[in-house]
Amino acid sequence: MTERMYYTCDALDMETEVLSCTPQENGHYHVILSATLFHPQGGGQPSDQGTLNNVNMLQAMQDGDTLIHITDGPLPAGPVHLKVNAELRSQHTRYHSAGHIIGLAGEKYGWRGVKGNHKPGEGRIVFEALASPATVTVEDFTAEIAALTEHPAPRRITEAEGKRMVTWGELKPYACGGTHVQNTADIGHIQIIKVKEKKGQLTVQYALGV
């Protein structure tokens, strides 16, 4: 089983080992590594991209308990240098962290986040109603997000009942396997674009500024 270093490490390059490389009909290759920094697509977060030696790693994906790295070229078994695309990782990380902050803001008004898409141009959080939810506006979310992020807070990662819990400072933690900023100040400006309530669900569209 591949060791998932991104759970505990923010590094973007490392030495690892190719365990297998299987050609696919579409010309790509499925590579299994002994350890990886590449975060796969999941939990609303897009896959990392990068390189394995000089071969492009196009997408990492979870297949059961197996983490597959899709490459555009073959790799021999043995040592390999892994490098994550830093700009793309930063985008994914900031958007995912913003999603958590928006989730916390929604809870204040009686809404619980159940699904998210943490991708530039497609950022959104879907909420379901808790007891007696309030009607919420763009301005409400904007004000609550400003209050939650007013004071920069460091990331805290803990474990509870076998789950990885992520938060910043004293904010409420969420169970999450994604990558997140080291400090809330690193997220940047969270812009709430649209808030729409329909059939017991609340959808919040968002984007990030600098």
Residue 137 is predicted with a pLDDT of 97
Domain 3-84 grouped into CATH 2.40.30.130: yes
pLDDT digits (tens, 9 = 90+) for 13-22: 999 999 999 9
Pull the structure tokens for residue 196: 């729409």
Residue among 91, 69, 108 at smallest CA distance from 207 = 91
Residue 131 is predicted with a pLDDT of 80
Boundaries of every domain in the chain:
3-84, 88-208
pLDDT tops 80 at residue 86: yes
Which residues lie below 8 Å from residue 64, measured CB to CB, with a gap of 6+? none
Phi, psi torsion values for 131, nearest 5 degrees = -70, 130
Mean pLDDT, all residues of the chain: 96
Predicted model pTM: 0.95
CATH topology of 3-84 equal to that of 88-208? no
The one-letter amino acid code at 116 reads: G
pLDDT tops 90 at residue 69: yes
Angstrom CA distances, 126 to 45, 59, 114, stand at: 14, 25, 6
Pull the structure tokens for residue 164: 């990885």
CATH superfamily of 88-208: Threonyl-trna Synthetase; Chain A, domain 2 (3.30.980.10)
Residue 2 is predicted with a pLDDT of 95
pLDDT tops 90 at residue 115: yes
For residue 183, the SS3 value is strand
- Order of strands, sheet of 174-175, starting from the edge strand that comes earlier in the sequence: 155-160, 163-168, 174-175
Pull the structure tokens for residue 152: 């920069």
pLDDT tops 80 at residue 210: no
